[in-house]
Amino acid sequence: MTGVVVLGAGFVGSAVARRLVGRAEVAVLDLPTHPGLFARDDRARSIVLHAVESVGAVAVVNACGLLRGTTDELTDANVAWPTWLAATLQGVGARLVHIGSAAEYGDPGTGDRVAETHPLAPRGDYAETKAAGSNAVIAARATGLDATVARVFNLVGPALSPVSPLHQFLTDVTALPPEGGVIELWWPDTVRDFLLLDDLGEALVRLALADRSLDVVNVCSGVGVSFGAIALAMAAAQGKPVEIRSLDRPGIPTVIGDPARLREFTGLEPTITAELIAAHAALAPEKG
C-alpha cells in the first residue's frame, strides 16, 4: 500500500487523514506535537523525510497555515513554511499538495465562475500571504517538484473557525429565543462558493493519489449562495422565524469558483445549497 504524509491535524488535516483510511498508509505530523518543525532546519527536514520514508509516501498534503495573526505570523506560516517544505521535498519523489485559498483571487470583478487562470488580486495580509505561498509552490513545480496547489473555497463543517462568516451567522441564530428575532448581516446579498469539509478531504486525497498532477485546481462547488439565504436556512433548521437586517456594509460582492478542472481531473462534483450548509455547519463545543 502506498502512503501519504499529512502535515497538520486540525480541521482540514483530520478530514484528509479520515479519507485516506483503507486507501493509503498515513503519517500525520502536527506542528504543535513536533515543535522541531518550526525551526525549518536540518532536524526539521529529517522529521519530514523520516515520515515520508516510514510510510513510503507518494504525496505530502500540507494542511498547515494560519487564518489570522500578525503580519509576521501569517508570513511565517503561509509563505515561509510552504517555501521551505517545497525545497525539502525537491528530489524526494513525493508529490506536494498544498492548500491555497479562494481569497487569493480577491475581488474577481465578475459574478461568473472564476477559473484557475484568473488573475490574482489578494486583499489583506491573509490573502496576500496565501497567494505568496501558493506562488512559491508553483515556482518549485517549475524547477522539478511534483506539486499541486488546491485552491480551496469556503468550508462548511463542524467546529467552524470564528473567521468564517458561518460561525457568526450560526452564533447569532442560536442565541435567539425560540420565538426568533432579528439577525444583522453586513450585506445579505454577498455571494460565496461553499464546500463541505468531507468533499474537500476527498478532493485532496484524489489529488494526492492521482497518476499525474496539475499546477492549480479550484476545490469548490461552482455554486453561489448568498449570506442572507444561509442565515434564513440556519434559522429554519432551528425552527426560529427571523428577519434579516442589512447593515449596508458591502464588501466583495461575489466569488464563485469554476470546478471544471476539479471535475475533469478527479471526477468529483461537489454540490451545495443553503440547506446543506445549515445542516453541516456546527460550532466547536465550549471548553471547560
pLDDT digits (tens, 9 = 90+) for 181-209: 999 999 999 999 999 999 999 999 999 99
pLDDT digits (tens, 9 = 90+) for 42-88: 999 999 999 999 999 999 999 999 999 999 999 999 999 999 999 99
Asked whether the beta carbons of 100 and 151 are under 8 A apart, the reply is: yes
pLDDT digits (tens, 9 = 90+) for 236-275: 999 999 999 999 999 999 999 999 999 999 999 999 999 9
**Gap between the Cα atoms of 233 and 156, Å rounded:** 14
**Confidence band, pLDDT 50/70/90 cuts, at residue 286:** low
> Which are the contacts of 15, defined by CB distance < 8 A and separation ≥ 6?
157, 197, 198, 200, 201
State the burial class of residue 93 (Cβ atoms within 10 Å of its Cβ: 0-12, 13-18, 19+). Answer: exposed
CATH homologous superfamily, domain 3-154+195-222: NAD(P)-binding Rossmann-like Domain (3.40.50.720)
- Give the closest residue to 185 by CA, choosing from 249, 235, 236: 249
Q: Could you tell me the pTM of the whole model?
A: 0.95
Asked whether the beta carbons of 195 and 258 are under 8 A apart, the reply is: no
Phi and psi at residue 276, to the nearest 5°: -65, -40
